Amino acid sequence: MDTPVSVKTVALVKSYSVRFRNGFLRKRDAKCSRFLELAENTGLKLYVVGRQFAVRDLEDANMATFLSDLRHGIRTFLRDRGYAAVVIFTLALGIGANTTIFQFLNVLLQPLPFQDPDRVVYLVRTNAEQNVPRAPANTRDFAALKRESHLFEDLAADAAENYNLSGAGDPIRVPGRRATASFFRTMQITPEFGRTFTADEEVPGNNHVVILGYGLWERSFGSDRSVLGRTLRLDSESYVIVGVMPQRLWLFWREIDAWTPLAVSSDGANPGPQNLTLSGRLKPGVSLPQAQSEIAAISRELARNYPATNAGWGVNILPFRQYYTSPQDNVALVVLTLVTSLVLVIACANVASLMLARGTIRSKEIAVRSALGASRWRVTRQLLTESFVLGTAGGGLGLLCVWWIMDLVAAAMSADVPVLRETRVDGNVVLFTVLVSLFATFLFALLPAWNMSRTSLNEVLQDTGIRFTGGVRHNRVLKALVIAEISMAVLLLIVATLGIRSIMNLQNIPLGLNPDNVVTMQLELPRNKYPEQGQIRPFIGSILERTAALPGVDGAALADGVPIVDRSPRRSFVIDGQPQPPPESMPWCASRSVSSTYLSVMQLPLLRGRDFSAGDSATAPAVALISNTMARRYWPGKDPVGGRIRFNDGSGWISIVGIVGDVRNDDADAPPLPQLYVPFDQSPGRAATLIVKSKSDPLSIVSAVRRTVTALDPDQPLYQIQTMAEALRSDLAGPRVVMGLLSAFGLLAALLSALGVYGLMSYSVAQRRHEIGIRLALGAKRIDVLKSVVGQAFQSALIGTGVGLVMALAMTSIMSGMLFGIGPRDATTFVLVAVFISGIAIVASYIPARRGSRIDPAETLR
């Protein structure tokens, strides 16, 4: 017998949708008796529980509908594999390009391994007059900053100090770093086990302790935790192991194998070595401008007290992340991000145009669905679900493309770049790919899906939807897409062309030297073993003499560094016979110490005067060679040979004996600096580069040179062995890869745009076949119809090209610092690209228009 139902219950049930009421009444006897009891006792409970069932029922129905649409979409694309493949591949290119750039950002933006990273800063010396944005500090500067500053919790210093590791097999060179005890507090570094340094160990003679890098601990000690207290032989001296660094360190510290204490004592008169990296942790509540103001005041005081070394120099404070990325890096990332974003937009536009064209084919299917009761939203949802299938497949393929792209980048980067080693597909990258795929799906699918859902059954049955209404409806959308694609094609092809021309210019840089068959090898003599210059000269001289005598060697030279590979130190000087300028505007040059065979091995031209000779010994008068740039800058219209200069450090006069050709100094893509060369015998250093020119493969003589050095000193390793050609590739690796990626993505986007323009123009003209037939039937001449169609296409091309040129002017002004040997607004590039893209648009409209103008009007109207 049915349970009686009160008016209250009926009223509550009536408040629900028809669908829920039908289900409620149908399932009343089986499942809803409890509902009726609740309804009689309290209407509120029925309302709450009923709503829960209604929502759950609706969710189940939505999921069932989604799965049904998903299966339908998969079956549809399996039948039309060609269309699906084109769409998926197009999306994969756009998504893969964006994911590739995100991988670099993901590495640079990874969380820093210490608390309050915004309070950790670097202090860098800068000199606007000498165009030096960043330079290391000296011990005296650090001591003064630490003593006078009151806005830092800690100030720290560290310096690169590679070591000769010996005592276990062949000697090897290991990367090391000296650091003050405050460095570990500033960066909040806690060893894996053991301890860090104490203040007492910053005193010279009391600093023979070492903290092992995690990598060296694994390689040389087999991860043995009992290493504390053992000794390590570095630079022929014993160091006691007091700790092991953690495995998880900041990106650029992970490769350090040996950390030793940095002695920072300064007597005030002696500035000490100028190789320190200064860092600090700001006190809570202290802003960067406040700290910068205090440091600037201390810098001005140092310049007044020590004008010889500090005049013209200031100190800038940089946030931690900013220190490890240059402004050029930031610009490159911004430009690459913009370009890859446009690649994605173009890919989506192409897919959208394909979907619009395909919508014409599916118009009857969609109209029938609408006639059978499907709402516009229901049809749109089905089409969006089908697009979701394509977007997901495109995202998956794009993620696979990332590995391939990164392999290409790694192969192009001959240098060992830490950022590349850290790039990996992690959760962040996968999440980014998913989000980009979803965004792309809605970007390319929403407009076509909404447009197709408007299809009318009457139009389809009368066959006018395609002929008239469809053309009018699509006309504005198609024209907007054509203009957008043309503008983006112009923009990106200009970017790609400028990038390609920059790469070509980089490969043809006049270096001023001949790198063919030249190999360089570095060595550094330990201070404790070779404390005096009188010991350095004979040892280095013996290496040079024996190396030059080896079979297959065409020449050997020594220098304290080589162009492009090593940065030349800057030195201020005064010119004999000229008034001395104020300290902040004194002339300066890059200085290098070389042997008498340097010019011949590097094939540097001697333009005037004489070369160094064996007579330019340590006891002979000081002499120097200068570059042509230095001669023109400081002796304009005069012959500097025979003149004299004196460095601003109190040293004696140096006679200029010759002028040599210019070379690229620190960077292959930077203009030559004023360069000065002094004889190695008159200015020997513990760190030297052996430069060997061979008669064949330069690497084939390395083992013989290494045996020569080992015979003179078994504990002395050679390291950083590379050919000059490899060094050049390494120096240009960063700009080359950035411009390569920019050019590749730009060309890809331009190609997609060109294909999209061609497809859209062809489709647009094809949609007008019926209109063309009517015009011909009414007496229009075929040539007039052809001119009309092509003229409209030319109008769209003109608008799109104009917009693209304006966007290109803005984009290229941003990337001006990335270009080499070509201006950001190169007229030739702009004109050629504009003509090329406009030509593609006109050809794309001419071919189908010509074909359409030949159709039989009677056949079209039938």
The predicted-structure confidence for 595-615, as pLDDT tens digits, reads as follows 999 999 999 999 999 999 988
Would the pLDDT of 380 be above 80?
A: no
Q: Percent of the chain having pLDDT more than 90?
A: 24
Same domain (yes/no): 542, 690: yes
3-state secondary structure (DSSP) of residue 712: helix
List the alpha helices (DSSP H) in 362-426. Answer: 363-371, 376-412, 418-422
The kind and range of the H/E element at 656 are: strand 653-660
* pLDDT score at 253: 82
3-state secondary structure (DSSP) of residue 750: helix
Same domain (yes/no): 674, 775: no
Most distant pair of Cα atoms in the chain: their distance: 126
Same domain (yes/no): 570, 662: yes
Same domain (yes/no): 136, 181: yes
Same domain (yes/no): 694, 600: yes
Would the pLDDT of 631 be above 90?
A: yes
Would the pLDDT of 325 be above 70?
A: yes
Which of 648, 680, 714 is at the close of a domain? 714
What's the rounded mean pLDDT across residues 535-546?
90
pLDDT in tens, 428-476: 888 888 898 888 888 887 766 666 655 555 554 555 444 444 445 556 7
Confidence bin at 806 (pLDDT 50/70/90): very high
* pLDDT score at 374: 58
Same domain (yes/no): 437, 488: no
Are 674 and 626 in contact by the 8 Å Cβ rule? The answer is yes
Q: Which amino acid is at 762?
A: S
Same domain (yes/no): 674, 568: yes
Is residue 705 situated within a structural domain?
A: yes
Count, in order, helices (H) and strands (E) of the chain: 28, 24
9, 298, 848 from 608: Cα distances, Å: 110, 45, 69
Per the rule left: phi > 0, alpha: psi between -120 and 50, beta: everything else, 315 is beta
* pLDDT score at 411: 64
The structure tokens listed for 428 are 């962040």
Confidence bin at 859 (pLDDT 50/70/90): low
* pLDDT score at 470: 45
62, 149, 822 from 315: Cα distances, Å: 63, 13, 34
Is residue 388 situated within a structural domain?
A: yes
* pLDDT score at 269: 59
Same domain (yes/no): 498, 534: no
Same domain (yes/no): 603, 665: yes
Is residue 860 situated within a structural domain?
A: yes
Q: How many domains does the chain contain in total?
A: 5
Residue 241 bridge partners (DSSP): 210
Give me the residue label for tokens 């949609």: 767
What's the rounded mean pLDDT across residues 314-336?
83
Confidence bin at 363 (pLDDT 50/70/90): low
Per-residue buried b or exposed e for 124-134, using 16+ beta carbons within 10 Å of the residue's own CB: bbbbeebeeee
Which of 282, 311, 340 is at the close of a domain? 311
Whole-number Å distance between alpha carbons of 317 and 329: 18
Confidence bin at 186 (pLDDT 50/70/90): very high
Number of CB atoms found within 10 A of residue 205's CB: 6
Would the pLDDT of 362 be above 70?
A: no
Whole-number Å distance between alpha carbons of 381 and 567: 62
Same domain (yes/no): 482, 457: no
Is residue 520 situated within a structural domain?
A: no
* pLDDT score at 119: 92
- Strand ranges (E), 428-576: 518-524, 553-559, 570-575
Would the pLDDT of 336 be above 70?
A: yes
pLDDT in tens, 112-122: 777 888 899 99
Q: Percent of the chain having pLDDT more than 70?
A: 79
* pLDDT score at 383: 73
Q: Which domain, by its residues, includes 89?
A: 80-111+328-462
Determine the length of the chain: 862
What's the rounded mean pLDDT across residues 152-171?
84
Same domain (yes/no): 451, 481: no
Residue 572 bridge partners (DSSP): 588
The crossing angle, in degrees rounded to 10, of helices 81-108 and 724-767 is 140
The four Cα atoms 341, 344, 349, 352 give a dihedral, to 10 degrees, of -140
Sign of the CA dihedral 214, 406, 817, 807?
negative
What's the rounded mean pLDDT across residues 359-385?
64
Is residue 488 situated within a structural domain?
A: yes
Confidence bin at 124 (pLDDT 50/70/90): very high
Are 835 and 750 in contact by the 8 Å Cβ rule? The answer is no
Confidence bin at 353 (pLDDT 50/70/90): confident
Number of C-alpha atoms within 13 angstroms, CB side, residue 855?
Answer: 25
Whole-number Å distance between alpha carbons of 423 and 409: 11
What's the rounded mean pLDDT across residues 561-577?
84
Same domain (yes/no): 457, 583: no
Is residue 467 situated within a structural domain?
A: yes
Is residue 204 situated within a structural domain?
A: yes
12, 506, 513, 548, 692 from 519: Cα distances, Å: 91, 21, 13, 13, 5
* pLDDT score at 654: 94
| Of 423 and 105, more confident | 105
The structure tokens listed for 460 are 């389809």
Is residue 2 situated within a structural domain?
A: no
* pLDDT score at 459: 53
In whole angstroms, how large is the CA radius of gyration of the chain?
37
DSSP class of 608: E
